[in-house]
Structure 1
Amino acid sequence: MSLAPRLDIRQSQSLVMTPQLQQAIKLLALSNLEIEGFIAEEVERNPLLEASAAEDSDAPDREPAPEVRDERVAADELVAGTGSGDEPTLDVDYATESHQQDSVADGGSGMDGALSMTGASAGGVGGEDGPDLDAFADTSLSLADHLLAQAGPAIPREDAFIAAHLIDQIDEAGYLTVSLLDIANRLGVPLVRVEAVLATIQTFDPTGIGARDLAECLTLQAKEADRYDPCMARLIDNLDLLARGELTRLKRICDVDDEDMADMIRELRGYDPKPGCRYGGEPAQSVTPDLFVARTKAGWAIEINASTLPRVLVNRSYYTELSGGQQDKASKAWLSDCLASANWLVKALDQRQRTIIKVATEIVKQQEAFFLKGVAHLRPLTLRQVADAIEMHESTVSRVTSNKYVSCARGLYELKYFFTSAIQSADGGEAVSAQAVKSAIRALIDTEGAKILSDDTLVELLNAKGFDIARRTVAKYREALGIGSSVQRRRAKALEGVR
């Protein structure tokens, strides 16, 4: 065997991840609101890009550059791998770690039941903006600010730093989460001084703030209501018995009769176990749908929510002005890069829309019974089933359905909601969705009345309905729904009876 150096010619195939392809992969996984922010960044970076409203799309200086062919055709060629460039097809499972969280675009054939998308770019803004609901968001002070405002006139100036530190350690629910001894050691002050400042803070609004546990929180509120007598004190000291529903033992400990015990429990129910939650906290975030699904005479209409997507265009007049002047080599290269980047972004956004609609159309087709009759008719569905039906890779479907929400007549749902595991039918028939089983469990428990259903009884009732399900699966689904066990529900019923 010769070890001398030599030259060989080999032919092989490889996938080259260009920056443009990485950008197209990234776009598909973003929600409409995230796309809006991404487009804003690209418009700021690229002078040839403009984000325009739909009514401005026909302006003569806002048409796509003459070098760009019909974007819908160009996008099809790009996905099929038949375009003028040598870019690879986008529907590929990229195993590399750097692109594992990205997404891929795929071909866009006709979509039965979907609304046709007008225009070649990324959609448009239709109509005038409605009222800004964010303007009605709560602008109240945070809990810390609310307490600091009360501490100003109530706490001596020399103890102000102790009060500020204590308030900083109070969590969102209003509880002090650090021991007073640790705070005293940290600040280098006597423990009795810290306790005195905390006692003052516990007189602030809301009542119960600064408590170190639930019992202390309820005690502060009972004292404020002038209901903290020895009987109430013993009841608060035995909250564990109350949680377990041991009312007979509680009556003996508190030395009260049935009427007094019922009155004390009603009083406790009126207290707030988390007084700090009335203030501050993160404002509620509304979910904006990415897709709309509606029933029409011709079938199901599916369209992208264009109100959250600006229309991306290439500024033709500005490109002509820049390219017509005298330029050095570096300027020409920069302008060519800007044009290529703008053209690619328009193609990628268009392909993103058509790919999302293609996936959503197949989901609606597979889950039509849900849209017509409700969650009880949700079918088992996997990513692979949808991917095989529309001839895409499974990873493509997974990324398309991430962070995307669909609005329909039955409410707002994440696209991932429609992918559920299968529960076999007891009679050998068609398998049912896990969500349908959860719905059946909730319906049975909601109508159980005074006779509490155990998990074994639920299994029997579900088997009678045709669900072949084990007891441990019923317990898992019940816990996922936030429903307590039969023992917990029985205790809750007993406590409701003393109201």
Structure 2
Amino acid sequence: MGALRQTQSVESKHKLSNTLRNWLPILHSSLSDLPEAMAPFVEANPVVELKNGYEEDFEKKIPKKIISGAVSNSRTEQIEALTIQSRSLFEILDEQLGAPLFPTPISQKIALFVVENLDENGYYEGDTETFCQTHAIESDTFEKVRQRFAHVEPIGIGAKDLAESFLFQLDNAEISDSAYALALKVINNMQEIHSYSSEERFAEVIHVISTFKNPPNIEYQEDSAQIVPDLMIYFNDDNEIEVKLNDAYYPTINIDANYGVEHDFVKEKIKEAKSLVDALDMRKATLYKVGLMIVEYQYDFFCGGQIMPLTLKTLADEFGHNPSTISRAIANKYIACDRGVLAMKEFFTTAIDDDVSNAAIKEYLISLVKEESHAKPLSDMKLLEKIEAKFKVKMVRRTIAKYRKQLNIAGSSERKKLYQLGG
């Protein structure tokens, strides 16, 4: 009996190693590149036939909950943007840089400058002060013109940060007057979103915010036509969150049973084909489990909140793999949800060094802002100094500014104005 168990163990281990050998390249490839990754295995095996999942329409495979409902138009546009992008974002904006929003030469000049200084997400990051000095324009005039981007399509473009983008979109959303007032508070204080959960209109506010584009140019981002999400995460009709594999978009492996299985060569090829099927199933199971973990740790995000700290090591420990393996596994993988199509890597924090994660730095940054003087808020340079002193790391100011924007924290001058308005 002992010898028999040993033989079974060796056979099982051999089968698993074959599957793993196939699994790694299949796991690491994006869904759109999966047929290409599988091609070497298929070409060397006469009993295998591969049917490409791209032969069917992508939109039909997205759960109706994601592309239907009160915001069906914007969500349908997002799906269409994944399949074909006929006009660039600049072309869309260029058509709007005239009357009625920008009827004068000065307003058109300002509007063009805003468009020319959009970052990769559609946020304005131009040097307003230099532009105004060069063209003898008052900063107040510039800002009034820029605020008209609240009425430019796609809504949210030209905002300075995520909070302002949401405010632009809020002014164009269908929302009750009482919920609108609460939405203003929530958007301006996103890091404390759950402090408003007891408010009467909180559910309506979260529903409306969850429909906003994030980032504002998500429909026009470069290479969006090639993005095919591995997972769909959405709330079903019972208001329960669901994780669904985009398995209908996977290639299908057919094993030809007409070959004579009495030949050793055919037996071996059928065995290899079954290992390939197992590897594809392992990819699905692995990414589905990743999706479940993301929902577990990032549930607040799917309800309209912010992405919480989650390290690759946490995921690696759960799977029993090295973090580098997990990093490659989630590379070029995407999730479709009510808040857009997002890269899986966006749900994870990375390390500044071996002992410090950017999540820890962000948490400390939040605590510094909470405790700062309302009369003299901390500048990014002051925040940088305190963070470097606490964590004994070297960083640059623009990294602090980037983290601040990710956390929806306004700049020091903006925070001072908000403190004054709040009494």
- Does the pair score TM above 0.5? no
- The structure whose residues are more often helix, as a share, is 2
Q: TM-score range by the shorter chain?
A: 0.3 to 0.5
Q: TM-score, normalised by structure 2?
A: 0.44
Structure of larger gyration radius? 1
Q: TM-score, normalised by structure 1?
A: 0.39
